[in-house]
Structure 1
Amino acid sequence: MDFDPVILARIQFAFTVSFHIIFPSFTIGLAAWITTLEGMWLYTKNDRYHLLARFWTKVFAVSFAMGVVSGIVLSYQFGTNWSRYSEVVGNVVGPLIGYEVLTAFFLEATFLGLMLFGWNRVPPWLHFVACLAVAVGTTMSAFWILSANSWMQFPAGHEVRDGIAYPVDWLQIIFNPTFPTRFAHMLTAAYITTAFVVFATGARWWLAGKAVDQAETAVRMSLGLLIVLVPLQGFFGDASGLNTLEHQPVKVAAMEAHWGGEGEDSGPMPWVLFAWPNEAEERNDYQITIPYVGSLILTHTLDGTIKGLKAFPEDERPPVVIPFFAFRVMIGLWGVMLLTVVYGAVQWRRGRLFSEGRYLRFVAMTWPIGFVAVLAGWFTTEVGRQPWVATGILRTVDAISPVVGGAVFTTLVLFVIVYGIVFSAGIYYINRLLAKGPQTARGHEDEAATAMRPLSAAHDAGRKAIQAGE
């Protein structure tokens, strides 16, 4: 059996990077959440914040460890499967990854032990500083990774000599044209992902009658953040889309399955709500459109248009099906997020946030929504960049190592097996932690439980009333 090493290497990298991105998307926001909780505890001396901070630190530890393990595997693939990539663009991308290690990972590693094991061993203010350092480190890590990836999307500040990219202006490389909006978009996505996990977990605790005071605190704080960030993400997403249209128009054409030609490049553009892109015949099958909305979204006018896929050479077009559907998954989930937080804001305003049993049960199921949206966004971005691994410099097919397909297939199978076992165990353990709730995070939770007994009794009465009414 013949194995295509390029296809298999791409599948392997997509598989491992998809697993990896789940954990930074969570830990970036979670580190900030823990820091906020501990800061509020230092300011208010309210024990609920301390309990929550200690609890979520346990979850952070497991998530961070799985993120580190899955990230190490990616760097090895640059040498095993993509050595030509390392040779051609390593002079630019290598230092950016190195800066991430020196300025971000070292910062995280230095203070992580203090964050995880410093409870009751160092002064509270010092522990808060450690949490803050870890939070800054995770953000800096995102900064450098997004900078490197954005440079690959639209390279700048370099020169190519004998087929090898060399840095010329590091400021242009780091702050390349697509970086600012993509960094804002991804960082906000990470905070939203974490906020929905906290939101759903708080609702889950409240419905189960566990850690009621902490549950209500988690629900209110996460919902308050989401009320701000989810609409703001619409602004960042629009800015990122306009930036992509300017610098990567073929990607946007693929995202919208806009073929153009035959007069379609002039006049109002409909928004393709649903279709099956037919790349062989350069058209869409089973198409459902909304008139003028495409022009409004992409050009902010009612009669604007963009270049269609037919305007680009066939060998420079990305695959259409994956970016088209992944983009719609991301947008659709953002719409669900927006409706969820708007409804929650209205109920909170009316004083009925904890009187809506159906709403809280729905919220308890929304914990994966941010992860799926992030994955859909990255699939849109990375597949939409094809056929380039570094646009205009190196094609993906030319970046592969001289490896045989059978070897790549074997390692891919091993990755699937090992990842399935290791990460299933990690996720299972995290779920066990979430099910136990924050009162297991301290040695003297019995005192906290006694103090909260009157509130728990009131909660139980309210919860039973909700159930009886429904």
Structure 2
Amino acid sequence: MIANLDPVTLARAQFAFTISYHFIFPSFSIGLASYLMVLEGLWLKTGNGVYANLYRYWLKIFAVVFGMGVVSGVVMSYQFGTNWSAFSTKAGPIVGPLMAYEVLTAFFLEAGFLGVMLFGISRVGKGLHFFATCMVALGTLISATWIISVNSWMQTPAGYAINAKGQFVPAGSWLPIIFTASFPYRLVHTVIASYLTTAMAVGAVGAWHLLKDPANRGARKMFSMAMWMAAVVAPIQILVGDQHGLNTLEHQPAKVLAMEGDYEPSPDGAPLILFGLPSNDEGRVGYEVAVPHIGSLILKHDPHAPLPGLKDYPRDIWPPAPIIFWSFRIMVALGFAMLGLGLWSLLARARGKLYDWCWLKRAAILMGPSGFVAVIAGWVTTEVGRQPFTIYGLFRTAQSHSPIGAPAVAVSLLAFVIVYFTAFGAGIFYLLRLMSKPPLAGEPEPQPIPQRAAGITPAASVAAHLPGEA
């Protein structure tokens, strides 16, 4: 029975499953690294020990998240060889170097300073330790830049030529390949999403501990900072998303039309379909609830601007509209929910009740996972909306698959499901346990170990802090 399954569909399911698991960790670690940088900077500037304690509180969580992100990310590169070797052969001369640059410029930077960041807070000077934290935060952003560059080239390919072997190779300069038409929109949208994901998680943890102990200084500080982030950054993300959508309409119109459920052309302005049941087979949205002209107002900033429909394009390049229609709405709904939480917190702050309104704190706890759900929904919208192409308009997914049978792919998919739910389930459980512990306001601040000034050598200083060495 397994042999009758489509190996391409199984390989796509495997990649979707593993990258969905992976994506939640970098989206959290990017935001957490920057948050840790801010916390340590505020500690150095103000001398307030609350910031130092919060830094150490979230540093433990960051270490686990970073490790899980690295482990889950290693799997992705192997799948290019096992399941998508045809794609690797055709696009390797472009995709391979870009991913190698990510390792050379970002991962090495993160790995080089991560040890100082995690274990050197009492072993090096405050300035050097802050520099290490900044380098790790910078490394996460550089890593995101290269990965988004790869993805953007696959979405809006440019700067390539096709050699005699049928491979995609650079036509000359690498700049058009790295900085494609969609790259800046995707990068900004993704990084802001990571910041909002972290803000929602930090806000939920702060709210949880405030409900138990409203006087906890660390919980109050983290909750306040998270709500500021939601109030300031959520509206910026909505504006960035609007510009990203306009860019996508220009370069991938079929994706946007599928997201909106616009099967029919709209010469006098497209409606905004709020809800419905899209069907590619029937070429329509059943049971639709629509608002006239608002679709054109959003996509063209003119309520009467004409818009094409999916039926204006060949049916064999239609994306799976039922999937991205709903994933897009989940992402947008959560974005506006984050905005609502931020505005609610501003009202509470203006009335001096930020730490007193219990329903605000309950809402923040409820919104804790919202960032992770939103980034996964956004990823589904972007990647499923690119189908049926791996390299948009040039190379189809069905052509990208390895010459491997369905049973082999099915067995590896089952193995990934078992291992991921076991290993990463345990990791997530451990993260939740760390977050369930309140920040201790009375915890002593980390102090550098006196070395030469006290007649102690650096080697002896380190040995004195190792178990069994004194």
What is the match of residue 402 of structure 1? Answer: 403
Distance 2:280 2:31 in 1: 39
1:212 counterpart (213, 216, 230): 216
Query: Residue 385 of structure 2 aligns to a residue in which SS?
Result: helix
**1-structure distance, mates of 2:304, 2:124:** 63
Matches within 5 A, 1:373-452: 373-439=374-440
Q: Could you say which residue in structure 2 is the equivalent of 1:370?
A: 371
Partner of 2:199: 195
3-state SS in 1 of match to 2:87? helix
Instruction: Provide the rounded CA distance (Å) in 1 between the counterparts of 2:209 and 2:61.
Output: 16
Partner of 2:22: 20
Structure 2 residue 231 is the aligned partner of structure 1 residue 230: no
Aligned partner of 1:123 in structure 2 is 125
What secondary structure does 1:122 align onto? coil
- Aligned: 1:249 with 2:250: no
Deviation for aligned residue 1:151? 0.3
What letter matches 1:438 in structure 2?
P
Cα distance in 2, alignment partners of residues 105 and 305 from structure 1:
46
CA distance in structure 1 between the aligned counterparts of 2:392 and 2:268, rounded to whole angstroms: 30
Which one is further off, 147-156 or 166-175?
166-175
Q: Who is 1:348 aligned against?
A: 349
Deviation at 1:444, TM superposition (A): 7.8
> 5 Å matches for 1:67-466?
67-162=69-164, 163-168=166-171, 169-209=173-213, 212-260=216-264, 264-439=265-440
1:315 partner amino acid:
D
Q: Distance in 2 between matches of 1:328 and 1:190?
A: 19
User: Relative to 1, partners in 2 of residues 1:414 and 1:443: Cα closer, same or farther, differing over 3 Å?
Assistant: farther
| Fraction of identical pairs, as percent | 49
Q: Distance in 2 between matches of 1:133 and 1:278?
A: 48
The answer on whether the counterparts of 1:54 and 1:438 sit within 8 Å (CA) in structure 2 is no
Contact 1:83 1:399 in 2 (8 A): yes
Give, as a single letter, the amino acid of the residue that structure 2 aligns with 1:123: G
Report if the CA contact (8 A) 2:231-2:341 is conserved.
Answer: no
Structure 1, residues 328-386: CA drift from partner, whole Å, max 9, x if none? 00111111111111011111011111121111112122110011011101100000000
Distance in 1 between residues matched to 2:352 and 2:340, nearest whole Å: 18
1:136-187 residue CA offsets vs partner (Å, 9 max, x unmatched): 0000000000010000001001111242101122100000001001111110
RMSD: 1.4
Contact conserved, 1:147 with 1:174, CA < 8 A, in 2? yes
State whether residues 205 and 211 of structure 1, in contact with CA within 8 Å, keep that contact through their aligned partners in structure 2: no
TM-score, length basis structure 2: 0.92
Report the residue type matching 1:10 in the other structure: R
Tell me if structure 2 keeps the 8 A contact 1:55–1:441. Answer: no
| Count, aligned residues | 442
CA distance in 2, matches of 1:101, 1:441: 40
Residues 31 and 198, structure 2, Cα contact 8 Å, conserved in 1: yes
What TM-score does the superposition give when structure 1 sets the normalisation length? 0.92
- Partners of 2:170 and 2:177 within 8 A in 1: yes
Q: Which runs of 5+ in 2 are unaligned?
A: 447-470
In the alignment, residue 242 of structure 1 is paired with which amino acid?
L
Deviations 1:234-269 (A, max 9, x none): 110001000000000010011011112xxx430121
What is the alpha-carbon distance in structure 2 between the residues aligned to residue 105 and residue 307 of structure 1?
Answer: 43
Structure 1 runs not aligned, ≥5 long: 446-470
